[in-house]
Structure 1
Amino acid sequence: MTYPLSRRACLAGGLSLSLLRPAHAAPATLSFDELYASFSALGLVYSDKVKALTGQPIRMQGFMAPPLKAEAQFFVLTEIPMALCPFCSTDADWPDNILVVYLDRKRTFTPPNQRIEARGVLERGSWTDPETGFVSQLRLRGARFDVA
């Protein structure tokens, strides 16, 4: 015996399907100008978008700052290409727009003038890497990157 579908059942089913998020949905995109809402006497104020995306997978394009080692498990993503390692020169101004990227595994890095896209889970808040002592405010964890 078959039951005809009512209009109400079709609408309810369609609404239920529209609320489901596929498991393979693309990560949200975040740009450097969306990281902070403002600067205050207390420091940087995260944007509402960063607050909403914390703990979520995101993707972000930028440039890899020259690393300390040829192969490592983290790097600094910058808005503009950098010719010098920001850790190696006291004269170089550290850019305001950075994001630390902790890779899911060690990788050999790309040239600093090549645009890349990093993908990982966004973390915010001050954190000191126990291995390197590097302090960060924003990070991607379990990240991967590809040429953009």
Structure 2
Amino acid sequence: MSVKDLQFASDLRTVVTRLVKKLRKKSITGQQLSLTERSTLSLLLSSENGMLPSELASLEKITNQSMSQILSGFLEKGYIIRTGSETDKRKVIISITEKGKGIIMQVLSERDEWLNEALRETCTEEERELIKKALAPLTKLVDFE
């Protein structure tokens, strides 16, 4: 691997990290939630049948106790509901409520609006087309294990 390749990788990491940090700051709604809380709501949003608290903790790479605290807060705010498992009465399934969906959709909308405006204000049409073409290879990077 050449020094140029490493520098390119470093530059890409830096710009992507800075963009992600900027996007986090550009959502007033999102600032009311921690990164783990936003991520947990997003996981629940994408889950059709809900998830077990232990599954959420595992995906978020946090302890079951920490996830339990997050879920208790969500329950108080009305973002989730807990339902007993039909197959195992000892288990509880966590599902997102309409209020929870609304919060996470608001966060995503605020970020998308900021990014759309930033693209319009800072990039030429050619640059926007270049970014569009870069989405496929960037997606490959995200999917790489």
Query: TM-score interval w.r.t. the shorter chain?
Result: under 0.3
Greater percentage in strand: 1
Structure with higher RCO (Cα < 8 A, 6+ apart): 2
Whichever of the two has the greater Rg, that structure is 1
For normalisation by structure 2, the TM-score amounts to 0.22
